[in-house]
Amino acid sequence: MSSADPTERTGPVRPPEPPVLPGLVDCARELAGGRTTSSALVAAALARIEASRTTLNAFRQLRTEEALAEAAEADRRLGAGERLPLLGVPVAVKDDTDVAGMPTYFGCDGALPPATSDSEAVRRLRAAGAVVVGKTNSCELGQWAFTEGPAFGVTRNPWSTAHTPGGSSGGSAAAVAAGLVPAALGSDGAGSIRIPAAWTHLVGIKPQRGRISVHPHSDAFQGLTVNGPLARTVADAALLLDAAAGPHTGDPHRPPAVDASAAALREPGRLRIGVSLRPPLTLTRNAPHPEVVRAVDALAEVLARLGHHVEEARPRYGLIGLSFVPRATAGIAELAARHPEPGLLDPRTRSALRTGTRLGGRILRAARAREVRQHARIGAFFDTARGGDTYDVLLTPTTAAPPPRAGAFDHLSAWRTDLAMTSACPYAWPWNVLGWPGVNVPAGFTRDGLPLGAQLLGPSRSEARLISLAAQLEADRRWYEHRPPPLGAADRR
């Protein structure tokens, strides 16, 4: 036998990777059945997060000591017979979400004080027994469909680290897609859950406005932004939605409760589904990428095979962008004005602050007032009681393009960044203006192996129908069987 150093033949020996965590439902079931411990799951999550820092960079802050202590306490409670929906399960939340004792950076640089209390969504997750292991990266104030910034670096896509996972909930998406945590909370003000879900092969639910509280905000980003789950399966996303849902006492939007987990187990019935590849009017005229069109057409064919009535449709969006821009920029301005060191903000953020300030007051009030007419005009698309060309669900691409390369938007001006974002992601934001629910579902891959997604969109308070339809698609497509390559392997593309 040769006495040569084995690394001469095989290269350096890589340490074994920490395990990919099971899904949220599986973790909860294994814990309740005594087949694993919270301490083991949380330790594995933390180890995998640490191992991925140089490849994915999904997390801004960790709660290592606190999470391990909470896991030990969860094990004690489980051993005593206590049962809660997420007791002992590790989850992550986005960097815009208050967690007591941690700064809420929301992608910004600078010294910010720690939050004095949990947001309502985190309070509810803790009440369900979840262990929050940390906060995931977001671009600055959630403005863009990429997750990069001087405060934390570049968050990368586990399917190809040369590409972005999207944004602004890109850290949450990367963490779930890579199996660092079984599910994570994100937020969506213009597609910020659905876009990264599409580009990382996840289920992402943008719920009805008010379904999950945005407290300590009362009407985040002038009503555009909601919190919602990212997960690998519909059942996992539904479970996290159920755990986090519910109002704070001061919330202005309080939709009636929905049982998302029950909806994920029901057949949706035969639905009328309209398919639209045409986005709302924007300043860009880019057509969707051919591979996006191919993926959405293939999904429409699956829906037809499953028994639904599927046909091309054209929702009447009107000039809905005239309502979006004042609300979005006013929301950025409100947050940016509170930063203790405004000079540290990205020049594009400072530009949005100036625009939001100019469009405040009367223009902003007019934009908010248009929502009633927009509900009536676009709601007519779903009013099946009227007969004719009306539908239960609208199917569109989630994005017009596959995931861009990381760094593709470096050094662009504010105007050119907005144009590039609108060109790549023209489909998601109208549902934020309306406040209605939408679900991203995986729609396959490009020929280069990059994930693509499609949106199931519905009228007000239609989460149950969308979730049931997504679950039916999942049972047929079995998208959860596809996983990204091991950590460190995805950087070869």
d(CA 226, CA 168): 12
By C-alpha distance, which of 254, 256, 251 is closest to 218?
Answer: 251
Mention every residue, 6+ apart, whose C-beta is less than 8 A from residue 351.
413, 414, 415
Strand 183-188 to 131-136 pairing: unpaired
Which residue in this structure is represented by tokens 């047929």? Answer: 476
DSSP string, 142-188: G-SSS-EETTTEE--BTTBTTB---SSSHHHHHHHHTTSSSEEEEEE
* Burial of residue 113 (number of CB atoms within 10 Å: 0-12, 13-18, 19+): exposed
Q: Name the active-site residue from 192, 213, 323, 462.
A: 192
Kindly give the pairing relationship between strand 309-312 and strand 226-231.
unpaired
Please work out, in degrees rounded to the nearest 5, the angle formed at the alpha carbon of residue 202 by the alpha carbons of 408 and 26. Answer: 145
Tell me the two tokens of residue 10. 């095989």
- The residues, any chain, with a CB within 8 Å of residue 441's CB and separated by 6 or more, are 203, 299, 453, 454, 455, 456, 470, 473, 474, 479
**Whether 436 contacts 462, CB under 8 Å:** yes
Between CA 456 and CA 395 the distance in angstroms is: 5
Q: How many CA atoms lie within 13 A of 43 on its CB side?
A: 8
The rounded distance, in Å, linking the Cα atoms of 231 and 78 is 24
Report the C-alpha gap between 125 and 85 in whole angstroms.
9
Q: Which amino acid is at 159?
A: W
Measured between its terminal Cα atoms, the distance across the chain in Å is 38
Is 192 labeled as catalytic in the residue annotation? yes
Choosing from 52, 168, 169, 351, the catalytic residue is: 168
Which two three-digit tokens encode residue 479? Answer: 């998208």
Compute how many other C-beta atoms are within 10 angstroms of the C-beta atom of residue 321: 18
Residues 133, 90: contact at Cβ < 8 Å? Answer: yes
Residues counted in the chain: 493
Q: How far is CA 173 from CA 170, 218, 287, 368, 477, in A?
A: 5, 25, 26, 30, 20
- Residues 38, 39, 52, 94: which is the catalytic one? 94
**Is residue 168 annotated as part of the catalytic site, yes or no?**
yes
Angstrom distance (rounded) from CA 41 to CA 35: 11
Task: Give dist(CA 105, CA 262) in Å, integer.
Answer: 35
Which of 415, 420, 470, 468 lies closest to 440, judged by CA?
Answer: 470
**Positions marked catalytic:** 94, 168, 192
